[in-house]
Amino acid sequence: MNDIVERCLNTFGMMHGLTKDDLDEKRVELTGYIEKLNADGEEDANRLAVSGLTYLRNGMKRRPDIPGTRVSERSV
């Protein structure tokens, strides 16, 4: 699971220009989420990675302190 978590964090970090500290903050939470999906029966690494990226994206929408993640009026 660690390789999937790192894949998600690296991809998401590059897409949003996040620092290592920003990503470290999400690592434990994302790991728990990916492990839960796996325990629920999802075994496909690509699907787990996409789910992880979606999870991160949804979490970032609630983080106005990080540039590029503010939710617009239209998307609410």
For the chain, give the DSSP string. -HHHHHHHHHHHHHHHT--HHHHHHHHHHHHHHHHHHHHTT---HHHHHHHHHHHHHHHHTT-TTSTT-PPPTTT-
Give pLDDT, residue 47.
Answer: 96
Tens digits of residue pLDDT in 4-48: 999 999 999 999 888 999 899 899 999 999 999 999 999 999 999
- What would the mean pLDDT of 41-58 be, rounded to a whole number? 95
